[in-house]
Amino acid sequence: MTPAADWLTAQLLRRSTPHLGVFLPAGIPTVQADVEALRTFAGCGARFFEVGVPYSDPFLDGPVITAAYEQALRRGTGVVDVLETVHQVATTTWAPVVVVSYWGSVLQYGGATRFSQGLAAAGAAGAMIVDLPVEEAGPWLAASRQAGLHTPQLVSRRASDERLARVCSTASGWVYAPAAEAPTGYAGPLDVEALERFTGRLRAAGSTPVVTGIGVSSPEKAANVRHLVDGVVIGTPVIRPLLEMTASEGLRAAADRVSLFAAALQTPADPPSPSAQTIAT
């Protein structure tokens, strides 16, 4: 593993409270300003980052992240810009960076080997390919491990125990357990009891840290799932003000949101009662 990958593992495994991760597409709010934003978030309590590769058909994402990708693509943001963002963040903060991408972007850049080697050279800790099934991931996993990168895996709670075991055996860095079976940006109620059963199945299937996101749309929801996971990732709550406000106002509002989520993960909420299986918006 690269030093960045080792540092990510150390952070997630040696914890007293779950760590906050922040997802930001490269090029948002602009190329270069994305680095400033991530540095600011590191000072507000973010412990690791996901940097998204802008993609033209992000079918797993909701309207806010889709709009962010479209804006970044209109400005010409590509994998080269992603690598530069990763490099600048990795060399000026202590927060490890994992790149999040659709498989099409990997192929467009030249394939698994070139993509993984570029990430390792930039200082990334790993990459999560959100639409690559584990059954088809062999070349990607081999190239990434050759480069010393973690390969986090996204998994559905509807997966069989056999498939969960296979995902957990191939994942490294973390297994991503969505808090809601919905596109990114979901802000409805969370079934915490269902998430608890899901994370319990993942813990039984392997020892890889468990990270959640998608649906953890408020600090209150973060507090109510904190006892189940090793990390919580937020994206839409931070990206929205960067898209909708002026540069300075958007960054200030986004940083405030990061601070609130980070504080929520430090203060445990009361566990949900048996009769309260969902957390309202």
* Beta bridge partners of residue 25, listed in sequence order: 52
Asked whether the beta carbons of 52 and 79 are under 8 A apart, the reply is no
50, 81, 191, 230: the catalytic one is 50
Question: 3-state SS of the chain?
Answer: CCHHHHHHHHHHHCCCCCEEEEEEECCCCCCCHHHHHHHHHHCCCCCEEEEECCCCCCCCCCHHHHHHHHHHHHCCCCHHHHHHHHHHHHHHCCCCEEEEECHHHHHHHCCHHHHHHHHHHHCCCEEEECCCCHHHCHHHHHHHHHHCCECCEECCCCCCHHHHHHHHHHCCCCEECCCCCCCCCCCCCEEHHHHHHHHHHHHHHCCCCEEECCCCCCHHHHHHHHHHCCEEEECHHHHHHHHHCCHHHHHHHHHHHHHHHHHHHHCCCCCCCCCCCEECC
For this structure, is 162 an active site residue? Answer: no
Residue 33 to residue 24: CA distance in whole angstroms: 11
For this structure, is 57 an active site residue? Answer: no
6, 36, 61, 162: the catalytic one is 61
Asked whether the beta carbons of 216 and 196 are under 8 A apart, the reply is no
The catalytic residues are: 50, 61
